[in-house]
Amino acid sequence: MQLKRRCLYHWIDYPSLEKEYRNCPGARAGGARDAGPAVVGFVRDLRNADLYKRPGVAETIDWLNALVALDQRSLDEETVNDTLGALLSTRTTSASGGAVSRRIIQKVTSS
């Protein structure tokens, strides 16, 4: 029996903060201009947490688009907790992410 691979994976590192922000189409729309840098910074910090599955660039874009649709112009703990499911894809990750998000949101909002 011959094993056939259907996928070839090539791992690349996450882009810089500036590049990721530039590549988020919603980041420059309306109120997202205010929240965009904080959102990208939050996701970058979240990637350093001990999570089952870390959010990628696509999840950053999805979350930022959700925040724009909700007309959120800044990040606060309530908004993060209410929308974390758009960023973190598994229940296990969401539970872990919720515990970590409070510390990160304080860091992001204080800068």
What does the pLDDT look like over 22-56, one tens digit per residue? 877 666 665 556 778 888 888 998 888 877 788 88
On whether residue 96 sits in a domain, the answer given is yes
Instruction: Read off the pTM.
Output: 0.72
On whether residue 6 sits in a domain, the answer given is no
Task: Please state, in angstroms and rounded to a whole number, the distance separating the CA atoms of residues 20 and 14.
Answer: 8
Domain count, the chain: 1
Which residue range is the domain that position 70 belongs to?
17-110
* Nearest residue to 88 (alpha-carbon basis) of 79, 102, 77, 98: 98
SS3 content of the chain, % helix, strand, coil (to 5): 60, 0, 40
On whether residue 32 sits in a domain, the answer given is yes
On whether residue 55 sits in a domain, the answer given is yes
